[in-house]
């Protein structure tokens, strides 16, 4: 069972809530998938049951394959936020981490073609892989870097200064529609370089050059 934790292994003392996710927040990622640049942030939600940690192997279900990775900066919320102002958002963010928004890309494309919701492609069990968190102190959310390496190769590199919508602005916007509760996380969009995961892949998640998690993928029935 997933529980939020700090990078030193201590529990964060917050319940496991939902993950509110932002799509199409880096221009180069929008372009690599041939999507239009959105007029406002694209929002979707993953339930608490989708969140898994990085302290064990990542299970890739054969019945859901192929599964693609999208590395994203994630933030942990410690206070309720509704129609929040920037200063309220900064006061409520307690931790920063890196998450993988796992996506059934082929299923997503078919759902989009039919004008249907994305849940079957985005919100399945285990579709939100969350690293341990680092306390917010010392991080400038407008200029933070993060990355995903696969099998020792730099695969995705994100820089929040390149976001279409900055982190605090995003959270102000989404709380106009969704109340954030303590223990919720926000995934802030993925940079270019998304692709398919394979059995045996070794993954490393980094935040400002600090290794947050190292784990591998394993295929399951």
pLDDT tens for each residue of 42-61: 999 999 999 999 999 999 99
| Residue 73 placed within a domain | yes
- Euclidean distance between CA atoms 18 and 184, whole angstroms: 5
In a domain, 2, yes or no: no
Contact present, 128 and 101 (Cβ < 8 Å) = yes
Average pLDDT, the chain: 95
Cis status, amide bond into 66, omega within 30 of 0: yes
- Residue 99 lies in domain: 19-220
Contact yes or no for 28/191 (Cβ under 8 A): yes
Quote the number of domains for the chain: 1
Chain segment 130-165, per-residue pLDDT in tens: 999 999 998 999 999 999 999 999 999 999 999 999
Q: What is the CATH number of the domain that holds 123?
A: 3.90.850.10
User: What's the token pair of residue 161?
Assistant: 């200064």
Half-sphere exposure of 18 (CA within 13 A, CB side): 13
C-alpha 103/C-alpha 171 separation (Å) is: 22
Q: What is the pTM of this model?
A: 0.95
């Amino acid at each position: 069972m997933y529980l939020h934790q700090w990078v030193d292994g201590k529990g964060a003392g917050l319940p496991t809530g939902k993950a509110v996710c932002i799509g199409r927040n880096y221009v180069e990622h929008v372009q690599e998938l041939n999507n239009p640049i959105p007029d406002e942030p694209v929002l979707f939600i993953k339930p608490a049951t989708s969140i898994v940690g990085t302290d064990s192997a990542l299970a890739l279900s054969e019945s859901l394959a192929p599964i693609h990775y999208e590395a994203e900066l994630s933030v942990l919320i410690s206070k309720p936020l509704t129609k929040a102002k920037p200063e309220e958002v900064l006061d409520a963010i307690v931790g920063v981490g890196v998450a993988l928004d796992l996506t059934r890309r082929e299923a997503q494309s078919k759902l989009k073609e039919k004008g249907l919701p994305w849940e079957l492609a985005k919100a399945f069990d285990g579709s939100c892989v969350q690293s341990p968190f680092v306390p917010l102190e010392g991080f400038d959310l407008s200029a933070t870097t993060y990355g995903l390496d696969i099998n020792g190769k730099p695969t995705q590199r994100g820089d929040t200064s390149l976001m279409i919508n900055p982190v605090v602005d995003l959270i102000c916007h989404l709380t106009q529609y969704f109340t954030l509760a303590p223990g919720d996380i926000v995934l802030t969009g993925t940079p270019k370089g998304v692709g398919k995961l394979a059995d045996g892949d070794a993954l490393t998640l980094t935040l400002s050059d600090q290794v947050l998690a190292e784990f591998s993928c394993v295929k399951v029935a």
